[in-house]
Structure 1
Amino acid sequence: MPTLWPKPHSDQGLEGTQLMSKPNHSPKIDAYLENAEPFAMSILAHLRALLHATCPEIIEELKWGIPHFDYRGEMMCIFAAHKRHCSFSFWKDALMSDARLKANADLPMAKRFMGKLTNVADLPSDGDLTAWIKEAMALNEQGIKLPQRKSEGPKAVGIPEAFSERLAENPQVKAIFESRSPSFQKEYNVWIGEAKTDATRDKRIEEALAWIADGKGRFWKYSKPG
């Protein structure tokens, strides 16, 4: 599968995209980018290229349906595409020197410094990004860990009422859903529960019912064929 790879410009840094094959790229991340909105594809392809150029040993993983980048056996950074924005963060940003990265390190990615990217121009300069990647690499190389957070216990995720009602109307799908693991159920419950409008919620429910009927998990699109 071809990989989207930003084409460097001599006077502007990494901009634009072109299709090139990169052997150290995960096919799952390729698929993730190809399914993203065009604006998101450009932003994430730019970041991906900069990560590999700065850290050739970086390892790509799709965890919980989101691209993660590991280095020296530890997570280093994460990016994600949403319908109208992208997010990018460093796993150990709370330990990094730039105040912008440290400011909201305890919040979800979408509420951090680079949590609402809508255009490549929203990104900090390649110089800043490269410096941060190198700093994140050094933290992993030195084995520096994030301080342990106090456990508040697992947060229960209930099934959205509208989803429960539709499952009740489809007993065969409901039986499949209830027979699957708690994590399988949680992924659907969270996805449907996070819908901002009734229309979005209903669309997600319809997709969920069809996928569950086929025994597919929420992130089946990004799973490697068996």
Structure 2
Amino acid sequence: MSDQSASVDAYVAAQADFARPILTHVRALVHAAQPDVGEAIKWGFPHFVYKGKNLASMAAFKGHAAISLRYGEDGRDREGMRHLGKVRTLADLPPDEELRAMLTKSAAIIDAGMKPQWMERRHPREALPIHPDLHVAITANPEANAIWASFPPGKVRDYAEWIGEAKTDATRAKRIAQAVAWIADGKGRNWKYERR
């Protein structure tokens, strides 16, 4: 991955007056703690990349900045990332020594090849019931039936949800016909948005 430091410079420069000192401080601290970390803009905001893994990220919003560590613990688990809460001033950040310790722990976890704790705690979602009409239509089409059997649970769930959300029988029938055609072509429900 190429280092995108110029893009990160531009991101920081474009932020509100309150956010720039926070982002600049965190950025310098990350580089001091892990000198071989790279920078990249991912999902529209800066990430610090260590050995190909996201070590940390930072973002600025209208009234606060957000600093996240993908690995390690800081006691604030929110939807898979370790957030440092809403940071409005430099005083809202933990002490530099504490942040360095978190970054060092995160790098050690990456070095050891371990998955982040939040990944290990994920539980698979329950399967949605397949509408009987969809089941009948798929079974009637051998190509669709063979591909349907090989779909991962997420793709099956996407179709089950789409068909199940239909408010009328006519809408459901139209969606089922479309679903069977897409499935026979090996396409998931959201095939237009999948990486190719």
TM-score exceeds 0.5: yes
CA RMSD of aligned residues (A): 2.5
| Other structure's SS at 2:98 match | helix
- Post-superposition shift, 1:25? 6.1
Q: Choose from 127, 134, 140 the match for 2:97.
A: 127
- Post-superposition shift, 1:55? 0.6
> Which residue matches 2:23?
44
| Other structure's SS at 1:51 match | helix
Distance 2:42 2:115 in 1: 20
Q: Choose from 69, 85, 88 the match for 1:90.
A: 69
1:31 corresponds to which letter in structure 2?
A
Whether the aligned pair in 1 keeps the contact of 2:69 and 2:83 (CA below 8 Å) is no
Q: Deviations over 1:137-181 (max 9, x none)?
A: 11111111123534554899xxxxxxxxxxxxxxxxxxxxxxxx7
Distance 1:56 1:90 in 2: 17
> Which residue matches 1:197?
none
Is 1:104 paired with 2:77? yes
Aligned positions, number: 127
| Structure 2: runs of 5+ lacking an equivalent | 126-153, 159-191
- The 1:27–1:120 alpha-carbon spacing in structure 2 relative to 1, beyond 3 Å, is same
1:131 corresponds to which letter in structure 2?
A
- Post-superposition shift, 1:89? 1.3
Distance 1:123 1:150 in 2: 32
| Other structure's SS at 1:114 match | strand
Is 1:67 paired with 2:46? yes
- The 1:118–1:103 alpha-carbon spacing in structure 2 relative to 1, beyond 3 Å, is closer
- Please identify the structure whose Cα radius of gyration is greater: 2
| Other structure's SS at 1:145 match | coil
| Other structure's SS at 1:48 match | helix
- Post-superposition shift, 1:182? 4.1
- The 1:34–1:151 alpha-carbon spacing in structure 2 relative to 1, beyond 3 Å, is farther
- TM score, norm. by length of structure 2: 0.57
Distance 2:56 2:106 in 1: 8
1:61 corresponds to which letter in structure 2?
A
> Which residue matches 2:84?
114
Distance 2:63 2:109 in 1: 32
1:128 corresponds to which letter in structure 2?
E
Distance 2:31 2:4 in 1: 9
- Post-superposition shift, 1:106? 2.7
- Post-superposition shift, 1:26? 1.1
1:144 corresponds to which letter in structure 2?
M
In the TM superposition, 1:122-161 aligns within 5 A as 122-146=92-116, 147-148=119-120, 149-152=122-125, 153=154
1:37 corresponds to which letter in structure 2?
A
1:143 corresponds to which letter in structure 2?
G
- TM score, norm. by length of structure 1: 0.50
| Structure 1: runs of 5+ lacking an equivalent | 1-23, 157-180, 184-226
